[in-house]
Structure 1
């Protein structure tokens, strides 16, 4: 069970984490994620703290409009917000983008893979979804490896205005998505270490 205040909605949970709706109470911990240049350097740079309220509101609207959004990732053991993961929408209800960002101290423990897997499990129930895209800086080999392990296929190098660079772009068709059962996820996490 996820340790969290009663006003925060739990979207889904796995053995170690839960996805929760992002709320204004998460602004301080988000400074260690979106506001940390060392975390966001390969994602276009850190976000100005003053934009956090606006971003959280936009993700709430996305949840209402599309049924999926970007969520907070809470460590079930500590109750701490350690990252964000979920989906960005750009107007087409059939296509969304998977994203994830984590506090630097949480890197290397399999949290990104676990969160992305959980996000895909949630997305499988989304009726209008056809395809999920994702991209990563070509220097971020760990993130590329996660996408490949989740079944994403490389489609092309693509220019991104927000990062001002070409990045490898991947896609996963909904018809190719396989649910990650908790036993399978636990085995995958053990294999990483």
Structure 2
């Protein structure tokens, strides 16, 4: 099921057959540099399952990013509820296969998710939770119009919280 389309991409719900493509992305140490560790096969299976549950519970989650030109799955991007400083926020999160870094795909997908969150779901604010050393993710947040709101202790360490509102 396609959720949204951009110029070069479409985002769709995860399918079971995404497992091998996602595992190759999530098991890569460079791609997962800002996570505690790369994902195991089982962690990747749980990631897919958890997002499929989010589709049912929240009406959204992380979706597979596919190239329009060949339907290849190159990562994920979407909306996820997170607890930040005691409040429930909706985060735009993303992971891109490192073979596709620096081609604007993360920004394109994140911008599509931002518009989806604001105009399809009626949200007024979205955030991104970013490791302070993750300069490429900071650039993506800035490219889609987010600004640094604060620094918070989440996921057992300090992260920047970038945010944007419907009005900005």
Provide the TM-score with structure 2 as the length reference.
0.89
Are residues 1:51 and 2:46 paired?
Answer: no
In the alignment, the residues of structure 2 paired with residue 95 and residue 153 of structure 1 have an alpha-carbon distance, to the nearest angstrom, of 15
Is residue 81–residue 88 contact of structure 2 (8 Å, CA) maintained in 1? no
Residues 20 and 133 of structure 1: CA distance in aligned 2, closer, same or farther (over 3 Å): same
Is residue 68–residue 123 contact of structure 1 (8 Å, CA) maintained in 2? no
Are residues 1:17 and 2:6 paired?
Answer: no
Residues 150 and 72 of structure 1: CA distance in aligned 2, closer, same or farther (over 3 Å): same
In the alignment, the residues of structure 1 paired with residue 32 and residue 163 of structure 2 have an alpha-carbon distance, to the nearest angstrom, of 22
Provide the TM-score with structure 1 as the length reference.
0.78
In the alignment, the residues of structure 1 paired with residue 96 and residue 149 of structure 2 have an alpha-carbon distance, to the nearest angstrom, of 25
Q: Which moved more, 1:165-174 or 1:77-86?
A: 165-174
Q: How many residues of Structure 1 are paired with residues of Structure 2 in the alignment?
A: 165
Match of residue 110 from structure 1? 104
Are residues 1:146 and 2:145 paired?
Answer: no
Match of residue 134 from structure 1? 128
Residue segments in structure 2 that go unaligned for 5+ positions in a row:
none
Residues 112 and 123 of structure 1: CA distance in aligned 2, closer, same or farther (over 3 Å): same
In the alignment, the residues of structure 2 paired with residue 48 and residue 151 of structure 1 have an alpha-carbon distance, to the nearest angstrom, of 34
Task: State the 1:94 CA deviation.
Answer: 6.7
In the alignment, the residues of structure 2 paired with residue 94 and residue 156 of structure 1 have an alpha-carbon distance, to the nearest angstrom, of 15
Is residue 9–residue 109 contact of structure 2 (8 Å, CA) maintained in 1? yes
Give 1:1-193 correspondences, 5 Å limit. Answer: 9-90=1-82, 95-124=89-118, 125-127=120-122, 129-161=123-155, 164-176=156-168
Say which SS state the counterpart of residue 42 (structure 1) adopts.
coil
